[in-house]
Amino acid sequence: MKKLPPLKSLQAFEAAGRHLSFTEAAIELNVTPGAISQQIRMLEDNLGSKLFRRMNRVVALTEDGLMVLPLISGGFAQFNEAVTLLHQKRSDAPLTITSAPSFISKWLIPRLSNFKTRYPGIDVRIDTSDRLVDFAHEDIDVGIRFGNGVYPHLDTIFLFSFDLIPVCSPALIDKFGGLKRISDLEHHTLLHSNYDALDPGWPDWAMWLAMVNEEVDASHGIYFNQSDLLFQAALDGQGVALLANVMAEPEIDAGRLVQPFSNRLPVKLNYHLVTSPQKARVAKVVAFREWILEESAYLRQDDQAG
């Protein structure tokens, strides 16, 4: 194998080529611009090829520089990923799970003790967030995401789908009278999810009412952009909400919510388990994947039965 140039010179070239600036590269690597220039000259001498065209106050990559920069950048990215995986593979490192607050609080946490009973040696850290995660560079092991299942470059496993059902607190019915007919919704506050950023065609009260062929004004009420807040408003008796049956049914069984009408509105997006292909091979991730597939099996059986 041919001897590689010094790592520092490759690092200086990669940063300068990415920024097209010796000064910006120096700031990133915490050295002087002169040190960057010196390292790049050493690399050019080592390779016998010019990598930059140096002009007044600016630099540009030569044809050779443009050819090799993506490969060297990719190499450093793989170095970083390898080190990250080694850190996360430590037996004492916690399993870090990221998901939306509603999924964490209403579905995962009630079952988490089952995971800890089976794997007492695996500590768990919860990250409640809807943001996109860079699994290659962040200290996140797995995510449970709600979407269409298309997550490029990630290892993706379908967990379950769900329907939206109308629910409210028993206290709301006691206070304002029963919801015997769907038309009675006209006299109640409707609680809305505002997920247009996620999906402009997100199912809402207008779609549910159209499905049941009932003319009730669905434009009024209270709007929420987080499902956990919508859920809490329903529990607090603020109005009638459309909630995921998967999350709402345990509360219905416990008597904290009631479902006044049986009509269900299907949702085209689903829950998926996601991780990077590299982290998918880590033992604690394998353990969590097997466990959550077992825990959610009843929901996939419901899908097949339906």
Sequence spans of domains, the chain:
7-89, 95-153+271-297, 163-266
Integer CA distances (angstroms), 105 to 19, 100, 166, 276, in order = 43, 9, 20, 24
Distance CA 225, CA 246 (A): 19
**Cβ neighbours of residue 139 under 8 Å, at least 6 residues apart?**
84, 87, 88, 96
Q: What is the pLDDT of residue 135?
A: 77
Which phi and psi angles does 243 have, rounded to 5°? -125, 155
Distance CA 135, CA 138 (A): 5
pTM of the complete model: 0.67
Asked whether the beta carbons of 39 and 52 are under 8 A apart, the reply is no
Q: Tens digit of pLDDT per residue, the chain (306 long)?
A: 567 788 888 888 899 889 888 888 888 888 888 888 899 999 888 888 899 998 877 888 999 888 989 888 888 777 776 666 665 555 568 999 999 888 999 899 999 999 999 999 999 999 987 777 777 778 889 999 988 888 888 999 999 999 999 999 999 988 877 788 999 999 899 999 876 555 556 788 999 999 998 888 888 899 998 888 999 999 999 999 999 999 999 999 999 999 999 999 998 889 999 998 888 988 999 999 999 999 999 998 866 555
- Its CATH class, for the domain covering 95-153+271-297, is alpha beta
First to last CA, the chain: 59
- Its CATH class, for the domain covering 7-89, is mainly alpha
- Of 99, 92, 94, the residue nearest 296 (C-alpha): 99
> Looking at beta carbons, which pairs linking 61-66 to residues 24 or more positions away fall under 8 Å?
61/17, 61/20, 65/13, 65/17
* One fold for 95-153+271-297 and 163-266: yes
Q: Which one is the CATH code of 163-266: 3.40.190.10, 3.30.40.10, 1.10.10.10, 3.40.50.1240?
A: 3.40.190.10
Integer CA distances (angstroms), 147 to 158, 161, 195, 203, in order = 10, 10, 12, 14
Integer CA distances (angstroms), 107 to 4, 102, 220, 295, in order = 51, 8, 29, 10
Provide the 10 A C-beta neighbour count for residue 204: 20
Q: What is the pLDDT of residue 123?
A: 94
